[in-house]
């Protein structure tokens, strides 16, 4: 331990300067967004740089105007329905994460314990799916979700949904939360199966056999013995799935309607307007960035495990 301390103390001062520079470069832009989100547009435009400004939460109030319990004085009309989009994003991201984990876990377990296919097959197909850009899925998913994955309004289920929830035409997946969740689950499954597989392989078989001797069924063995042992793998898989579902823009924008818009869609729509209110946009960006930032700060080790598992272990 002392040798290690000596070693790190003997570093050249320039070395530390390089590290400080790197940290500033990596985090600086995010800090800039953070500070700008507390500035009024007047302060941003006047260019009084640095920290000499009166911080205000007005931008956040404007962004969240549709869910705030009180009226805002600086705003006559709540144009930005950010609160609703935030709820949509949360529902979609959480549900797809949970579903992906459950389904992926079961599949990974079956692949490892019942020796269906080799690891090579699975990692090969994981890579193949990783290769497919969301833009390639855009056209078919748009077509399928709008035209094929529908329940006819003539069927009993379709007519029941139309009566309960209103609307016209056939009941289709497009425009619903489930439609977006389905594609996110499918997109994330291969990676999740693959990473969980590498954790399940390490669970000693004897443990499971002991449980089975005590009379546990296959489902009990899985939930009571295997699951608790692969928690770190689950955490890594959960973070990666949540991140994609939370951050994704393209497919969500093709599949959502007025009521199911997610936060990234809202931000992009606001960016294409002629007169950008930088303060408000930065506040929305900050709100979108907060969950991933929190995950990163608390679970960076799992994230790095997930990231390096891809290339380093092969």
Partner 1 sequence: MSTANFNRLTPYLFLAPAVVIMALALLYPLGYMVYGSFRDWDPSQALGESTFVGLANYVTLWNDPNFRESVGVTLKFAVSVVSVEMVIGVGLALLLDRKLRGMSILRTLFILPMMIAPVVVGLIWRYMYHPSVGIFNNTLKSLGLESVDWLGQHALLSIIIADIWQWTPFIFILSLAALQSLPRSALEAARIDGATGWQQIIHIKLPLMMPVLIVTGLLRLIDAFKVLEVILVMTEGGPGLSTEILALRISRTATEFRELGVAAAMSGYLLLMLMTLTITMLAYNKIQEYRAARAIRAIEEDM
Closest distance to partner 1 from the beta carbon of 272 (Å)? 7
Options 189, 195, 235, 236; binder of partner 1; rule CB under 8 A: 189
DSSP 81: -
Residue window 201-230: x/- pattern of binding to partner 1, with contact defined by CB under 8 A: -----------------x---x--------
Q: Tokens standing for 83? A: 């609160």
Nearer to partner 1, 160 or 209 (CB): 209
User: Within a 13 Å sphere around the CA of 237, how many CA atoms are in the beta-carbon half?
Assistant: 31
Distance CA 19, CA 14 (A): 9
Distance CA 65, CA 63 (A): 6
Options 236, 254, 255, 280; binder of partner 1; rule CB under 8 A: 254
Instruction: Name the helix (H) or strand (E) containing 171.
Output: strand 171-172
Nearer to partner 1, 118 or 160 (CB): 118
> In sequence order, which residues have a C-beta less than 8 Å from that of residue 109 and are 6 or more positions away?
196, 200, 222, 226
Closest distance to partner 1 from the beta carbon of 182 (Å)? 5
Q: Tokens standing for 92? A: 């979609």
Options 111, 226, 255, 280; binder of partner 1; rule CB under 8 A: 111
Counting contacts by CB under 8 A, is residue 271 touching partner 1?
Answer: yes
Strands (E), 127-190: 150-151, 171-172
Phi first, then psi, for residue 171 (nearest 5°) are: -85, 115
Distance CA 239, CA 214 (A): 35
Distance CA 117, CA 110 (A): 10
Closest distance to partner 1 from the beta carbon of 27 (Å)? 5
Footprint of partner 1 on 126-185 (CB under 8 A): 127-144, 147-148, 182-183, 185
Closest distance to partner 1 from the beta carbon of 273 (Å)? 12
Closest distance to partner 1 from the beta carbon of 276 (Å)? 9
Asked if 225 contacts 211 with a C-beta cutoff of 8 angstroms, the reply is: yes
Closest distance to partner 1 from the beta carbon of 238 (Å)? 13
Nearer to partner 1, 65 or 281 (CB): 281
Counting contacts by CB under 8 A, is residue 300 touching partner 1?
Answer: yes
Closest distance to partner 1 from the beta carbon of 124 (Å)? 7
Counting contacts by CB under 8 A, is residue 22 touching partner 1?
Answer: yes
Separation in Å, CA 252 to CA 226, 271, 305 = 34, 17, 28
Counting contacts by CB under 8 A, is residue 311 touching partner 1?
Answer: yes
Distance CA 196, CA 233 (A): 6
Counting contacts by CB under 8 A, is residue 243 touching partner 1?
Answer: yes
Q: Tokens standing for 245? A: 């579902």
Counting contacts by CB under 8 A, is residue 288 touching partner 1?
Answer: yes
| Candidates 25-33, 72-80, 151-159, 199-207; binding stretch for partner 1 (CB under 8 A) | 25-33
Strand partners, 253: none
Footprint of partner 1 on 69-98 (CB under 8 A): none
| Candidates 7-15, 74-82, 198-206, 229-237; binding stretch for partner 1 (CB under 8 A) | 7-15
Distance CA 236, CA 199 (A): 11
Closest distance to partner 1 from the beta carbon of 296 (Å)? 5
């Amino acid at each position: 331990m002392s040798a290690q301390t000596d070693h790190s103390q003997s570093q050249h001062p320039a070395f530390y300067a390089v590290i400080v520079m790197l940290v500033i470069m990596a985090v600086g832009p995010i800090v800039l967004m953070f500070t700008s989100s507390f500035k009024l547009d007047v302060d941003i435009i006047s260019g009084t740089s640095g920290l000499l400004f009166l911080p205000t939460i007005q931008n956040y109030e404007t962004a969240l105007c549709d869910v705030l319990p009180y009226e805002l004085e600086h705003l006559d009309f709540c144009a930005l329905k950010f609160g609703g989009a935030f709820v949509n994003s949360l529902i979609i991201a959480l549900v797809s994460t949970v579903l992906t984990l459950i389904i992926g876990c079961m599949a990974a377990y079956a692949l490892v314990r019942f020796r269906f296919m080799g690891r090579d097959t699975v990692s090969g197909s994981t890579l193949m799916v990783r290769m497919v850009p969301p833009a390639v899925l855009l056209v078919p998913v748009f077509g399928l979700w709008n035209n094929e994955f529908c329940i006819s309004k003539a069927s009993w289920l379709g007519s029941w949904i139309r009566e309960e929830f209103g609307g016209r035409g056939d009941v289709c997946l497009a425009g619903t939360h489930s439609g977006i969740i389905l594609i996110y689950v499918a997109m994330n499954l291969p990676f999740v199966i693959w990473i969980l597989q590498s954790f399940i392989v390490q669970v000693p078989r004897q443990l499971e056999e002991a449980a089975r001797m005590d009379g546990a069924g296959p489902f009990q063995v899985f939930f009571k013995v295997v699951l608790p042992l692969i928690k770190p793998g689950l955490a890594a898989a959960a973070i990666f799935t949540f991140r994609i579902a939370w951050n994704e823009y393209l497919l969500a924008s093709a599949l959502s309607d007025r009521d199911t818009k997610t936060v990234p869609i809202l931000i992009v729509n606001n960016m294409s307007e002629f007169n950008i209110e930088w303060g408000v946009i930065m506040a929305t960006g900050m709100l979108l960035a907060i969950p991933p930032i929190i995950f990163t700060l608390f679970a960076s080790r799992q994230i790095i495990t997930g990231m390096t598992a891809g290339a380093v272990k092969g």
